A = this chain, B = another copy of it.
Amino acid sequence: MRVLILGGDGYLGWPTAMAFRRAGHEVCAVDNYLRRRIAGETNSDALMSNPLLPERAALFERLTGLKIEVAIGDCCDRGFLSGVVQKFAPEAIVHYAEQPSAPYSMIGYDEARATLSNNLTATFNVVWAVLEHARDCHIIKLGTMGEYGTPNIDIEEGWIEIAHKGRSDKFLYPRQAGSLYHTTKVLDTDLLWFYVRIYGLRVTDLMQGPVYGLSTDEADLDPQLMPNFHYDDIFGTVVNRFLVQAAAQVPLTVYGKGGQTRGYLNIRDTLQCIALAAAHPPARGELRILNQFTETFSVNQLAERVARVGNGMGLAVAVESIDNPRKELEEHYYNPVHRGLAELGLKPHLMTDDVVAAMLGEVLRHRNRIVVERIRPRVRWR
């Protein structure tokens, strides 16, 4: 299969590119280094340095003999993206090319505007490049479980049958997200669903939870092939922040009451999910939505787990509740369905203590590079 990875320099993009290439597919990875630029501007650089995309691809080729094509450019530039799609003629496009930070999108006008414009325009351009040059191509779009928010009813897999006043119909499951970033993913879904039903595109929209992990079969070949690891308040997930705080021997900072519950998954499972989605494309005119996570944790449960594992490794890990910089429910019902990917064959890698210990061990090897001031909230929702 010919697989185009948009956002190929990202935490998921690069491991996805390597995994598809190693599985025997032709791969082209596209990026414009937006995340690196924003991370630099906000003092949020990754813990380990990651080579640029062409260097990573060259190293991967030296180690495996397998070539990953690279194209550096902006998916918001129609001419560029359209040219890549026309030339590469992908059968699947994995679309990760979005500004991925919720706190960044909440800093102020400029950051909100950049997030809205970048994310919507990239998705719009993907739709049009496919319409014009690869009509049968399967778009695999990275959405987020955050699109659903935290409703008081069970979260279904993208769609819901609503019975109302004696009649019924099927609709997109209602979405209401907690940041402008997450809201752009809601708008993406609306936009994709419109173009799917009007023009008969094939789209898989993956409602993914927060991903953790640094180890994949290909990343393990060389430290320079490792995924990006951000641990700051802007680009770091809660798992990464806790791991780095444990390694730096500062308290793990729980936002508010810590009852915020989300579905998480191991990066190895993200790779499985994307591969399974690509191997089983939806029909033309179908928007298939899959909830992509393997287990749910509250923030308190994550803090307890990291603290337990850290203490077992001889670190003295404390946990502290701090004022929540976000506007979100700190205690809520949360029962999301996640059957679709299991039915396609997903075999989960769960967050065992060994998995946490391995991540913490990796972070400890880079302990001298930690900048503790980056971890506490620098952005507030109000």
Which A residues are closer than 8 A to B by beta carbons? 78, 109, 112-113, 116-117, 120-121, 124, 128, 132, 151-154, 160, 162-165, 167-169, 171-172, 174-177, 180, 183, 186-187, 190-191, 193-194, 197-199, 327, 333, 381-382
Number of copies: 2
Nearest Cβ on chain B to A190's Cβ, whole angstroms = 5
A194 contacts B176, C-beta separation under 8 Å = yes
A153 partner, pick from B164, B191, B327, beta carbons under 8 A: B164
Nearest Cβ on chain B to A244's Cβ, whole angstroms = 28
A199 to B382, CA, bound (A): 7
Known contacts A128-B109, A162-B162; decide if A167 and B153 are in contact (CB<8 Å).
Answer: yes
A113 contacts B109, C-beta separation under 8 Å = no
B165 contacts A194, C-beta separation under 8 Å = no
Known contacts A176-B194, A187-B190, A190-B190; decide if A167 and B333 are in contact (CB<8 Å).
Answer: yes
A162 contacts B169, C-beta separation under 8 Å = no
A153 contacts B168, C-beta separation under 8 Å = yes
A124 to B117, CA, bound (A): 11
A50 to B116, CA, bound (A): 36
Nearest Cβ on chain B to A357's Cβ, whole angstroms = 38
A168 to B183, CA, bound (A): 23
A152 to B166, CA, bound (A): 10
B169 contacts A164, C-beta separation under 8 Å = no
Known contacts A169-B151, A172-B174, A198-B327; decide if A78 and B162 are in contact (CB<8 Å).
Answer: no
A154 partner, pick from B160, B165, B382, beta carbons under 8 A: B165
A124 contacts B116, C-beta separation under 8 Å = yes
